[in-house]
Amino acid sequence: MAMMYSKEVMEHFTNPRNVGEIADPHGVGEVGNPVCGDMMTFHIKVDGDRISDVKFKTFGCGAAIAVSSMVSEMAKGKTLEEALRITNEDVAQHLGGLPKNKMHCSNLGADALHKAIENYYERQGKPIAPAPEPVGAEAKVQEPVAGCACPYCDSPVDPAGSVCPPCGKSFTVCPECGRPVRSEASECPSCGAKLGMK
């Protein structure tokens, strides 16, 4: 089983960094995936506009633990805006890649961090600062984060839910990649997994 994971994934799984909780955190973010059962909670401390400390607690598979550890390392010392720019793809790349059926774990890690930052802004009574757009050659069209957009109207949704608040339509979650899928779909458009007929 270990052969499907990169050396970096195995390192962060066997020796995870920043595990635990922060007393009196400035922000807390929690996410979960009901399909695979992964749950992640991130605590952050903020000094000025910079994340001075990050801790996490994760209940899940080895990939989920490795992702949490990597996200905590990537976020520590960054400004809030820089941390908001950490993407699911960044996490997977820093871990040397993840198996297709584990890619949803990287989504959870980035989402948990972003929720902790959003929680910090809420506690401060400040508007959430948007992530800066890439410039120059790196500029690209920003698409909804895979796994977090309604399959009907593309509005951001929590994959742990089953109904899109803006459009009111019900969706299911792909058991392979954990992304929202149209209820009537027979195949996941993201990973190609065959879905049970509804």
Which of 105, 148, 150, 177 is an active site residue? 105
Q: At what angle do helices 103-124 and 62-75 cross, to 10 degrees?
A: 40
| Residue 192 and residue 109 in one domain | no
pLDDT in tens, 115-124: 999 999 999 8
140 within a domain of the structure (yes/no): no
| Residue 161 and residue 190 in one domain | yes
Told to judge if 105 belongs to the known catalytic residues of this protein, a careful annotator would answer yes
Residue 191 to residue 41: CA distance in whole angstroms = 26
Domain end (from 128, 155, 171): 128
What is the structure's pLDDT at 137?
A: 40
Of 54-68, 82-96, 137-151, minimum mean pLDDT range: 137-151
pLDDT in tens, 29-58: 998 876 667 789 999 999 999 999 999 999
Domain end (from 101, 128, 155): 128
What is the structure's pLDDT at 125?
A: 87
| Residue 50 and residue 124 in one domain | yes
Told to judge if 164 belongs to the known catalytic residues of this protein, a careful annotator would answer no
Structurally, how many domains does the chain consist of?
2
Decide if pLDDT at 163 tops 90.
no
Distance of CA 99 to the CA centre of its chain: 16
What is the structure's pLDDT at 142?
A: 38
Which of 36, 150, 164, 188 is an active site residue? 36
Query: Could you tell me the CA-to-CA distances from 154 to 88, 146, 182 in Å, in that order?
Result: 18, 10, 11
Report yes or no on whether pTM surpasses 0.85: no
Virtual CA dihedral for 39, 4, 106, 189, nearest 10 degrees? -100
At residue 107, φ and ψ (nearest 5 deg) are -60, -45
What is the structure's pLDDT at 1?
A: 40
Domain assignment of residue 87, given as a range: 2-128
Task: Provide the percentage of residues in the chain whose pLDDT is more than 90.
Answer: 29
Decide if pLDDT at 192 tops 50.
yes
What is the token pair recorded at 111? 């989402």
Unique residue bearing structure tokens 């949490």: 68
| Residue 156 and residue 78 in one domain | no
